[in-house]
Chains A and B, each alone.
Chain A
Amino acid sequence: MNHLQSNEPQVMPVEPGLIPLPDLYILRNGVPVHIISSDTEDIIRVDFIFKAGQIQEDLPLLSSSVNMMLTEGSARYTSEEMSKKLDYYGAFINLTCEKDLAGLTIYALSRHFRKIMELAREILFCPLFPARELENLIKKRLQWYRINREKVQNLATEMFFESLFGKTHPYGRQADESDFGNITPGLLKDFHLKYYSPGNLTVIISGKISDKIPQVLENCFGDLQAGNVYIEGSVAYLSGSAGKKSGLTKPGAIQSAIRIGSPSISKRHPDYPALKIVNTILGGYFGSRLMKNLREEKGFTYGIHSVLSSLDLSGFTIISTETGSGNTHSAVDEIYREISLLHTKPVEPDELRAVRNYMLGQMIRMFDGPFALAESFRAVWQFGLDNSYYHRFAEKIKTISPDEIIELARTYYKTEALNEIIAGPL
């Protein structure tokens, strides 16, 4: 072909560089506001984060229902008026409810910022949880639940968390149909009062932040009294359970969903950054061993991914894929084989170089622009860490040795500790 093209360009070192630190502004009632400012488009992102995730709920569906009902009517606006206003000002809102945290992310045009923050105050601090709207929400959720029960991916993932963290812990507990009738406006109000309090709130604001913005937040949120802060009891670290295998039959399915993994360490553990690297080699990027083996060499699956994820009280690893039913058992065998290889065979220099540079490139992308910075900051702030975590991480990517990788795989990817779930035609 073109002779010029065999001249492979020389590769320069991939260097994430310094990660800018957010500024901290504290409202007069003590609410911390982390500010990540950058000269970009006239749009601002605000994350309102409360420790109000599933971990705080006594009943399944409670924390997520509270979160989803925030926009369904407040002291001043009906649900319809509220969404009309948000849409009129071109605001995009995402309600989020995860295992540990819950809240609201808003993207707002700078010129409408003040009006949108006034609405955010209504949404977060003055919701009424009207009974009719709640009844509709529960009906809809039950319908979504039934549809999700038809998907092998959902069945396998739910069963995976139940197997890891148990039927009774909020990290593992799954809703069933009978739970939908238990959610009442009173329960929502009580949960909201406890956990959506200003004393339980952190704000991260990112984008083009003018000098006037903190004052707008001060006016909208600084007067809220943090008097009734709910003090949680101490919660124990969760070790989870390991080594369980289960199958779930879904008649008529033409693919099986496979989930393999175990409880693991949280981001606070010193080994976490190094374990992220091991996970990436195994299944964390397109060139990973699982992807190469199961997709690019065998054509068993459209995709396979391995994830190491941190929770407040625990962490977990999970390998996920869907395969045609005839290949399910071969696919499972190959997954175990790739894990065993990590235990015994040192990673070759070429592979390690590719993983190092790919991950350093990913770090550059994680800090590219104010909104990416906000997400990366949130991902360490949540665990009481700061950007020094990322500096440690970058250093570990550059220096980890093949022997360390073997040691980590033997410690954290013990074959006998893996939980294995398969949902499909079986």
Chain B
Amino acid sequence: MVKFDRFTLENGLRVIVHEDRSTPLVAMNLLYNVGSRHEGQEMTGLAHLLEHLMFGGSADVPEFDVPLQIAGGENNAFTNNDITDYYITIPANNLETAFWLESDRMTGLNLTQETLDIQKSVVIEEFKQRYLNQPYGDAMLKLRPLAYKVHPYRWPTIGMDISHIESVRLEDVKKFYSSHYSPGNAILSLTGNISPDIARDLSVKWFGPVKGNPAREVAIPTEPEQTEERIIILKRDVPSDALYKAWHICKRDHDDFHALDLVTDILSGGESGRLYTRLVRKKNIFSEINAWITSDLDPGLAILTGKLMKGVDPEAADKAVNEVIDELKNKPVTISEINKVKNRFESSTLLSNTSILNKAMSLSFYELLGDAGRINREVESYREVGQSRITDSARKHLATSNCSTIYYQSTI
């Protein structure tokens, strides 16, 4: 049970505090409700580029990292489709340094042409390292625009193309920053060696004076329903073929989410997952295979990826995958198999909650979904999913007409 206090500052910043005296540290997680879905299609990658620039210092703080290091702190950040998240762990006696730095860069960031140019180069190298200079690295770059035709989830967080990152101007970054970085668009979580009273005092002291405009509303287009199967073939210089599939599913905050998460766990959670057992272990069709769903705020995807064993026909492999999925749609799953995936979810939640940083991230994210208290109710929400909801959600979402497939073919 993760007990927490919750309050909102006058400027709209939501604060969540969970006291855990078993650690000498405090974790501070600051979530901004802005991600790549808030970008325009002509300038993708901006949210992530701004995350890099957030370490550039301000008028009062020449460098973000140095004072934090001096205070014994460690920090990092990530950006995804929906959010940008900054996190720090620091010895409790130096927590105020984290408050000072994090409140300072909420609206006082120093954005210069020089840091922009350097961070553009850094992000372009990141783009190459993660996506272009890796075997199969561009598969996800191609799968998204196959599945989404109008919604901004069609581009990856890093950006649709290197040219988008190259063309970003300083004024674009400044506008994006002032549009989305403000107390009312953020959720601060504090976990670890801190009392709710001190957390409140420090939050008022440091974040209270931060003013910011209300976040700019961005109209995000709704993805039309997919009615026909989509298939493309990519030929690449890789040692073996691969298969990528995506189905449109619900948004994170929807009744079907938990059932669908269990569906993909039945398919590929652990080595006893059906796909691994049948297609890797028994039939030797794939050398590896995985399936999962995305936790997106707008309707997301169920994704399946697999690497084929040498010599296996891609269409035959696809057919074998579809047979496993069809069985899930047509035949009730046994209670014991359902309990297995529920037990795994419970274990992973307990394991995650052994870390104050994970707890801080979860609290912020659940608050964004509407209620930080869900951190304590998710296991129960999974427990409540019965046999029929699993079958129903698989039928509803894993239809062929709702699927996008890439045959990634080896030319070697």
Please name the residue on chain B nearest to A85 by beta carbon: B272
Q: Is A369 on the interface with B (CB-CB < 8 A)?
A: yes
- Interchain CB contact under 8 A, B206 and A107: no
In the bound complex, residues from chain B placing their C-beta under 8 Å from that of A41 are 350-351, 353-354
* A43 and B125 contact, Cβ closer than 8 Å, known pairs A87-B272, A364-B91: no
1/0 per residue, CB under 8 A from B, across A350-369: the answer is 00011101101110110011
Q: 29 A–B contact pairs at CB < 8 A?
A: A1-B60, A2-B107, A5-B103, A5-B108, A5-B206, A6-B60, A7-B100, A9-B94, A11-B97, A15-B91, A41-B350, A41-B351, A79-B271, A90-B347, A107-B347, A109-B347, A139-B309, A146-B240, A147-B238, A151-B134, A255-B129, A324-B124, A353-B70, A355-B69, A357-B69, A357-B72, A358-B70, A361-B74, A371-B354
Q: Are A299 and B272 in contact (CB under 8 A)?
A: no
Return chain B residues, CB-CB under 8 Å to A143: 239-240, 287, 307, 309-310
B191 CB to closest chain A CB, in angstroms? 12
B122 CB–A CB distance under 8 Å: yes
Instruction: Please state if B272 and A84 are interface contacts (CB–CB under 8 Å).
Output: yes
Spot the interface stretch: B21-29, B38-46, B224-232.
Answer: B21-29
B209 at the interface (CB under 8 A from A): yes
Report which of B99, B126, B339, B347 forms a contact with A91, defined as CB distance below 8 A: B347
- Number of residues of chain A lying within 8 A (CB) of chain B: 77
Q: Are A252 and B348 in contact (CB under 8 A)?
A: no
Contacts of A365 in B (CB 8 A): 25, 74, 89
B400 located at the interface, meaning its Cβ lies under 8 Å from any Cβ of chain A in the complex: no
Which residue of A is nearest B282, CB measured?
A: A80
Residues of chain B lying within 8 A (CB to CB) of residue A91: 347
Interface presence of A323 (CB below 8 A): yes
Q: Is A191 an interface residue (CB 8 A)?
A: no
Residues on A facing B (Cβ under 8 Å): 1-2, 4-9, 11-12, 14-15, 17, 38-43, 71, 79-80, 83-84, 86-92, 107, 109, 136, 139-140, 143-144, 146-147, 149-152, 207, 252-255, 285-287, 295-302, 322-324, 353-355, 357-358, 360-362, 364-365, 368-371
Chain A hits for B22, CB < 8 A: 38-40, 369
In the complex with contacts A151-B135, A357-B69, A1-B58 CB distance below 8 A: yes
Chain A neighbourhood of B122, CB < 8 A:
295-296, 299, 301-302
A150–B71 CB distance below 8 A = no
Establish whether residues B270 and A86, one from each chain, have CB atoms under 8 Å apart when the complex forms.
yes
Chain A residues with CB below 8 A from B132, complex form: 254
A14-B125 contact given A2-B209, A87-B269, CB 8 Å threshold: no
Q: Chain A residues near B281: list those with CB within 8 A.
A: 79-80, 136
Query: Please, which residues of chain A bring their CB within 8 A of the CB of B107?
Result: 1-2
Size of B's binding interface in residues, CB under 8 A: 83
Is the C-beta of B330 less than 8 angstroms from some C-beta in chain A? no
Beta-carbon contact of B240 and A357 below 8 Å: no
Residues 111-136 of B contacting A (Cβ, < 8 Å):
117-126, 128-129, 132-136
B157 to chain A, nearest CB (A): 14
Docked-complex contact A9 and B72, CB < 8 angstroms? no
Give Cα A301 to B339, complex, Å: 46
> What's the count of A-B pairs with C-beta under 8 Å?
221
Nearest CB in chain B: distance from A376 CB, A: 15
For residue B59, CB closer than 8 A to chain A, the reply is yes
Q: How far is the CA of A90 from the CA of B288 in the complex (A)?
A: 21
Chain B proximity of A132: nearest CB distance (Å)? 10
Bound complex: CA of A90 vs CA of B205, how far in Å? 44
Q: When the two chains form their complex, are residues B70 and A354 in contact, meaning their CB atoms are under 8 A apart?
A: yes
Q: Which residue of A lies closest to B284 (CB)?
A: A136
CB < 8 Å: which of A147, A354, A364 contacts B25? A364
Q: With A1-B108, A254-B128, A369-B355 known to touch, is A296 a contact of B209 (CB < 8 Å)?
A: no
With A92-B348, A364-B24 as contacts: A11 and B287 at CB distance below 8 Å: no
Q: Which residues of A contact B353 (CB under 8 A)?
A: 41
> Given A1-B104, A143-B307, 9 other A-B contacts at CB below 8 A?
A2-B210, A4-B209, A8-B100, A80-B277, A84-B272, A87-B341, A139-B309, A324-B125, A357-B69
Whether B67 is near chain A, meaning CB under 8 Å from some CB there, is: yes
Find the B residue at minimum CB distance from A363: B72
Identify the closest chain B residue to A7 (Cβ). Answer: B100
Q: How far is the CB of B83 from chain A (nearest CB, A)?
A: 21
Partner of A146, one of B74, B239, B355: B239
Residues of A within 8 A of B210 (CB): 2
Residue of A nearest to B336 (CB): A88
> How many angstroms from the CA of A28 to the CA of B130 in the assembled complex?
51
Residues of A within 8 A of B206 (CB): 4-5
Q: Is the Cβ of A92 less than 8 Å from the Cβ of B347?
A: yes
* B341-365 contacts to A (CB < 8 Å): 341, 343-344, 346-348, 350-351, 353-355
A324–B120 CB distance below 8 A: no
A145, closest chain B residue (CB): B239
Q: Which of B97, B99, B118, B347 contacts A297 (CB 8 A)?
A: B118
Please give me the residue from chain A that is nearest to B69 by CB atom. Answer: A358
List the B residue with the shortest CB-CB distance to A250: B133
Q: Which chain B residues border A371 with CB–CB below 8 Å?
A: 354
Whether a CB of chain A sits under 8 angstroms from the CB of B65 is: yes
Is there contact, CB below 8 Å, between A287 and B272? Answer: no
Name the B residues within 8 Å of A83 (CB-CB): 270-272, 277
Cα A83 to Cα B205 in complex, Å, equals 53
- The reply on B152 being an interface residue by CB < 8 A is no
Q: Is the CB of A11 within 8 A of B71?
A: yes
Residues from 52 to 72 in B contacting A, C-beta threshold 8 Å: 58-61, 65-67, 69-72
